[in-house]
Amino acid sequence: MEVQAIKQRFGIIGNDSYLERAIQVAVQVATTDLTVLITGESGTGKEVFPKIIHQFSARKHGPYIAVNCGAIPEGTIDSELFGHEKGSFTGAHDARKGYFEVADGGTIFLDEVADLPLSTQVRLLRVLESGEFFRVGSSKVIKTDVRVVAATNVDITTAIQKGKFREDLFYRLNTVPIRIPSLRERKDDILLLFKKFASDFAEKYRMPTIHLENSSVSILENYRWPGNIRQLKNITEQISIIEENRQIKAETLQSYLPQSTEKPLPVIYREEEESDKMSDRDILYKVLFDMRKDLLELRQTVDILKEKESSSEKFISQAHLRTAITPIKHPEIVSLDANPICYDEHETEDVNIIETENLSLEKTEIDLIKKALEKYKGRRKNAAKELGISERTLYRKINEYGIDL
């Protein structure tokens, strides 16, 4: 069957060479039972190609089931795919067949296959290799004859490196790869798609068809279309409904196109929920505490250097003096000849200030540690992460300050 006839049958619009090559591969592989992995960005129309493969295969009279793996909760995905026995889990009032059992003799399309949990990936690998599986809560082996076509918009090689996808399953799925080009790679098809969508919506809503001015066409074709065909269809529908003037100018079209940047601004991500975050007051308090601590350490360092310099000068002076040191009432005050050496009055005040600040900072630090421990219910790892210190340092400070958990 010619590519043009296939496009008409399945509603595929466009003359891009990469798109037509993808259609040809789908038709060629349909006559076999090989597993196919379809890749491409979200909104490119990947869901059409499993239908082509099924309709041109010997299984076309068998069942065809499409499953969105990303839309099924992790706790129920195994039951949905492989079925379960009565009483196998809470709510399992009856035995139930899974999609692989229902689709026996047909085709099953696993969309967003990269979202499958690792435990489910192991089950899927066994089905692909031996055609066998177990229902949840059962030890009885069930045989199935199913053609699997999978699709994803995720870079699976990166997912493998992060440990989120099994490498052996990837090679088993990727027997025949088909890549669907993005809309920005099909610039010549963008206007064709727009005209088709505009015509369909005009018929649907019983209103005149919208048309683009020449300046608008250039904007349409040069936009990046991160949402691909789905985004183009949505925007065409919006314009068809909202704009009274059916001749769409460049300014009008531009107002419907979201401005996306190649390099998005960094976003601070936190694993905790909003209610678990420290208050603004606590954060400010912590910042001020860190600043005071740094200043205090700097001041102590300067004082130590001054003390060393002073001690060095005193040692040199004493080497030239031949008078014995005479003790007086205060043990910290000594005399060389008639000139007594004692601590300066201001120096004593500085020591008192430092001691006072140390006590104040110590109390502040204890308060912060207690708050963090209370917030995470005594979990030291999370509390240490919140305070910006290591778990070992937190453990030492708890013992040092005698903080009760």
Q: How many CB atoms lie within 10 A of CB 146?
A: 23
191/17 Cα distance (integer angstroms): 16
Strand order of the β-sheet with 107-111 is 64-68, 107-111, 147-152, 36-39, 176-179
pTM of the shown model:
0.64
**What stretches in the chain show pLDDT beneath 50?**
262-278, 315-316, 319-351, 353-354
The whole-number pLDDT of residue 186 equals 95
The whole-number pLDDT of residue 323 equals 42
The whole-number pLDDT of residue 353 equals 47
Strands (E), 89-145: 107-111, 132-134, 141-143
DSSP output for 270-330: -SS-GGGSPPHHHHHHHHHHHHHHHHHHHHHHHHHHHHHHHHHHHHHHHHH--PPEEE-SS
Both tokens of 292, joined, read 């005071």
Nearest to 326 by CA among 315, 317, 316, 337: 337
Q: How many CB atoms lie within 10 A of CB 112?
A: 19
3-state SS class at 109 = strand
Domain ranges of the chain: 3-181, 184-256, 276-401
Both tokens of 128, joined, read 């692909």
The whole-number pLDDT of residue 260 equals 60
Phi-psi region of 87 (alpha: psi -120 to 50; beta: other; left: phi over 0): left
269/376 Cα distance (integer angstroms): 18
Q: Which amino acid is at 24?
A: Q
3-state SS class at 104 = coil
The whole-number pLDDT of residue 398 equals 83
Q: How many CB atoms lie within 10 A of CB 174?
A: 14
88/104 Cα distance (integer angstroms): 23
Just give the CATH number of 3-181: 3.40.50.300
Just give the CATH number of 184-256: 1.10.8.60
343/391 Cα distance (integer angstroms): 41
**How are the residues of the chain apportioned to helix, strand and coil, as percentages rounded to the nearest 5?**
55, 10, 35
| pLDDT tens per residue across span 267-301 | 333 333 333 444 555 555 566 666 766 676 677 66
3-state SS class at 358 = helix
| Contact in structure between 122 and 166 (CB atoms under 8 Å) | yes
